[in-house]
């Protein structure tokens, strides 16, 4: 029988036996082989589901092999190695109809295919549910992975890497020669650093309360640590102090980008006259506004070409049994970049 890591009640996380149904039209079943342990899953646990109906199947940064395909699926075959994307487009909502699929409001889902042994339906985190031996997703959420790229590295593209790199290239569109500050240097922050390097930023400042994380950022392409005036400031933390810092660091005409997930009720103060005088732009990055079928292949190719360092982001390899502990370690291990569950 399949197994999965389930949030059954507020704060109650455990590995359980689960039931995975056969995919329906437009869907496929994937045997998960690698899944990154992301702060978003911790956010789901700490926010009592974070909008997901309990019980929840955790995990959303996964890669694996297609095991079964429902009717009406083209371009994919059983045995294909795939990376799962949670930020897909429906093609039908108002934003998609306007030619803005990256802003899609109704990403496709395959709800009702995953169950606990008592028959209750599991809600997969961000429509994927990758802390499991198998999961079922819409076919549009699966993107083929080059054979040369290890799945334990490829899985990171699904969230942390796509969020960080594409926040630079898509949300902010940082031009060559610009100066950048990255506030918060965990896995997403390091991906922002790499995105800024790929974009050709002339200065990349890494800012974190933990000096070890700042040192890590230098190895991924940051050019300096600590505060300084910049053209683009990325808040990867999402707290009042970090967002207000992002605004303070901006030069005239600069752009602040909010990436980090803020806890419920978090607020920040804005000095509106100063904001007006500096002609500041504020943007919100929703997962880097990435589009899996467009962005995952080029991110994977950059990794194969050596432009994007995924291997150094894999700090620790764990088993599915270790997942609850790995979530706790996100709170207490500041030197951890990314733990990856390998099945």
- C-alpha–C-alpha distance, residues 37 and 159, integer Å: 10
Q: Domain segments of the chain: what residues?
A: 2-149+310-342, 163-287
| CATH pick for 163-287 out of 3.30.70.270, 3.40.50.720, 3.10.129.10, 3.40.50.300 | 3.40.50.720
Residues making up the chain, counted from first to last: 343
- C-alpha–C-alpha distance, residues 10 and 7, integer Å: 7
Nearest to 66 by CA among 124, 139, 5: 139
- CA quadruple 31, 37, 41, 42: dihedral, nearest 10: 150
Region for 221 from its dihedrals, namely left if φ exceeds 0, alpha if ψ lies in -120 to 50, beta otherwise:
left
Q: One fold for both 2-149+310-342 and 163-287?
A: no
- C-alpha–C-alpha distance, residues 222 and 324, integer Å: 32
pLDDT at 244: 97
Structure tokens that stand for 204 in this block: 């990349």
Nearest to 293 by CA among 27, 23, 76: 76
pLDDT at 315: 94
pLDDT at 334: 67
Model pTM score:
0.96
> Which CATH number does 2-149+310-342 carry?
3.90.180.10
- Going residue by residue through the chain (343 aa), what tens digit of pLDDT does each one get? 999 999 999 989 999 999 999 999 999 999 999 999 999 999 999 988 899 999 999 999 999 999 999 999 999 999 999 999 999 999 999 999 999 999 998 999 999 999 999 999 999 999 999 999 999 999 999 999 999 999 999 999 999 999 999 999 999 999 999 999 999 999 999 999 999 999 999 999 999 999 999 999 999 999 999 999 999 999 999 999 999 999 999 999 999 999 999 988 999 999 999 999 999 999 999 999 999 999 999 999 999 999 999 999 999 999 999 999 999 888 877 678 999 999 9
pLDDT at 293: 96
Bond from prior residue into 78 cis (ω within 30 degrees of 0): no
- C-alpha–C-alpha distance, residues 318 and 35, integer Å: 10
How confident is the model over 224-273, as pLDDT tens digits?
999 999 999 999 999 999 999 999 999 999 999 999 999 889 999 999 99
């Amino acid at each position: 029988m399949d197994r999965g890591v389930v949030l059954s009640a507020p704060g109650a996380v455990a590995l359980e036996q689960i039931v995975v149904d056969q995919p329906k039209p437009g869907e496929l079943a994937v045997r998960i082989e690698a899944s990154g342990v992301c702060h978003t899953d911790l956010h789901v646990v700490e926010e009592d589901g974070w909008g997901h109906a309990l019980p929840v199947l955790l995990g959303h940064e996964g890669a694996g092999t297609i095991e079964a395909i429902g009717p009406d699926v083209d371009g994919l075959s059983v045995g294909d190695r795939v990376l799962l994307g949670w930020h897909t487009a429906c093609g039908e909502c108002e934003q998609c109809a306007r030619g803005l699929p990256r802003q899609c409001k109704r990403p496709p889902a395959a709800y009702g295919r995953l169950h606990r042994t008592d028959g209750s339906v599991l809600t997969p985190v961000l429509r994927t549910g990758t802390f499991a031996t198998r999961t079922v997703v819409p076919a549009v959420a699966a993107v083929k992975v080059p054979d040369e790229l290890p799945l334990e590295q490829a899985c990171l593209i699904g969230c942390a890497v796509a969020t960080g790199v594409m926040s630079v290239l898509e949300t902010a569109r940082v031009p060559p020669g610009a100066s950048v500050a990255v506030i918060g240097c965990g896995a997403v922050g390091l991906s922002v650093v790499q995105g800024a390097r790929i974009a050709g930023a002339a200065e990349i400042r890494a800012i974190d309360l933990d000096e070890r994380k700042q040192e890590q950022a230098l190895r991924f392409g940051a050019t300096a640590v600590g505060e300084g005036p910049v053209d683009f400031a990325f808040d990867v933390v999402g707290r009042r102090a970090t967002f207000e810092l992002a605004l303070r660091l901006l030069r005239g005409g600069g752009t602040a980008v909010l990436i980090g997930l803020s806890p419920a009720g978090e607020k920040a103060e804005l000095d509106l006259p100063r904001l007006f005088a500096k002609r500041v732009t504020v943007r919100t990055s929703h997962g880097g506004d990435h589009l899996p079928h467009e962005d995952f292949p080029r991110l994977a190719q950059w990794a194969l070409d050596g432009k994007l360092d995924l291997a150094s982001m894999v700090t620790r390899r764990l088993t599915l049994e270790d997942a609850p502990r790995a979530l706790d370690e996100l709170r207490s291990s500041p030197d951890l970049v990314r733990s990856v569950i390998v099945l």
